[in-house]
Amino acid sequence: MELKTIEKALLVFDCFAKGETLLGTTELANRLGTNKATMSRILSTLKKHEYLEQDPRSRGYRLGPAMVLMARAVHRTLHGTVAQVAAPICDALRDKVGETVHLEVKSGNNLYLSYVAVTPNPVSLKIEIGDQVLPHVHAGSKAIVAHSSNEEIEAWLKKDMPRYTKNTVTDPAKIRDIYAKIRKEGVAYDFGEYFDEINAIGAPIFDHRNEPVAGLLIVVPSYRLGSGWSDEIVSELKNAANMISSRLHSTRQI
C-alpha cells in the first residue's frame, strides 16, 4: 500500500473506535473523503488479513478477529512495567487510606485506566480498566498533563473536551490555571467533574527520563470525604506516587 492508502486504512479503524459496529463501503468512503473503489480495495485487504469481517446480509464491515489480538496486546502494554511496579503500592495505599485507588497511564497520545485497587466498599463507577480517561476531568490524567511540557499541554487543550457534569471545566484558559496550580501543589483534584458526587485526588508518576507517564489517584464518594482531603491522605498519596517513580528509576519527586 502507498502511504496515503495506509493512512486511510488506519482512519477506518478510527471510525470503529468511535462506537460504530457496522459500516458500509460507501459510508466509509464518504467519511474519509475517498472514492468508493479505493475504499473497497482497502476494506478487501483488511478483510483478507482478518482485521475486518463482512456481514453476509448487509455487506457492511465490522472489526475482525485480528483486532482482538491487537486489543490483547494493548491490554498487556497497559499492564506492563508501570502497572507491575505500581500494583502492590496501589494496594498498600488503598489499605492505608481505606478508599479505592486508581492508576491512570499514558500510552502514546492517549491516557487510560490501567489498574484499580478496590476497597470492601467499592465506588460505583461506569469506567473499566482499558477505558480512556481525560486530562480535563480525571485527577490522575490532570496530574500527568500538568507536569508535561508546554507543547504537550497545548496539544491536549486543542482536543475535544466534553462536559460531563455541571462542575466540568472546559475553558482552556481556566484549565491552564488549574495545571499551574497542580504543578505548584504537586496534586490534582476532581470535584465531581466526571461523575456527580465522586471526588478524587491524583499525583503524577515519572519514569527514568523524569517524564510523567502515569497518575495515581484516590477516589472517594463526596459523602465520605467530609470537609475535604486531609493532610495525611495527601501525604500518603504523594509518598506512594514518589515510591513508584523511584522504582521506575526517576529522580523527579513531588
- Helix (H) or strand (E) holding 37, with range, is helix 36-48
Closest CA to 97 of 78, 115, 79, 123: 123
> How far is residue 48's CA from residue 118's CA, in Å, rounded to a whole number?
42
What b/e string do you get for 150-178 counting C-beta neighbours within 10 Å, with b at 16 or more? eebbeebbeeebeebeeebeeeeeebeeb
Q: What is the DSSP letter of 85?
A: H
* pLDDT at residue 174 greater than cutoff 90: yes
Beta-bridge partners for 116: 102
Q: Which pLDDT score is estimated for 94? A: 95
Tell me, what's the pLDDT at 201?
97
- The answer, yes or no, to whether residue 78 has pLDDT greater than 60, is no
Residue 176 pLDDT greater than 90, yes or no: yes
Tell me: the pLDDT tens digits for 231-248? Answer: 999 999 999 999 999 998
- pLDDT for residue 122: 72
85 half-sphere exposure, CB direction, 13 A CA radius: 21
Residue 109 confidence (pLDDT): 82
| 100-107/110-117 β-pairing | antiparallel
pLDDT above 80: residue 74: no
Q: Say what the pLDDT of residue 128 is.
A: 83
Residue type at 47? Answer: K
Residue 211 pLDDT greater than 90, yes or no: yes
What are the strands, taking DSSP E only, across the chain? 52-54, 61-63, 100-107, 110-117, 188-191, 198-206, 212-221
Query: Average pLDDT of 147-168?
Result: 94
Q: What is the pLDDT of residue 76?
A: 58
Higher pLDDT, 238 or 17: 238
C-alpha span between 152 and 142 (Å, rounded) = 12
Q: Which of 12-21, 73-82, 104-113 is predicted with the least confidence, judged by mean pLDDT?
A: 73-82
Q: Which residue has the higher pLDDT, 103 or 74?
A: 103
Q: Reply yes or no on whether the pLDDT at 77 is more than 60.
A: no
* Residue 120 pLDDT: 82
Q: How far is it, in rounded angstroms, from Cα 71 to Cα 65?
A: 10
DSSP letter (8 states) at residue 133: -
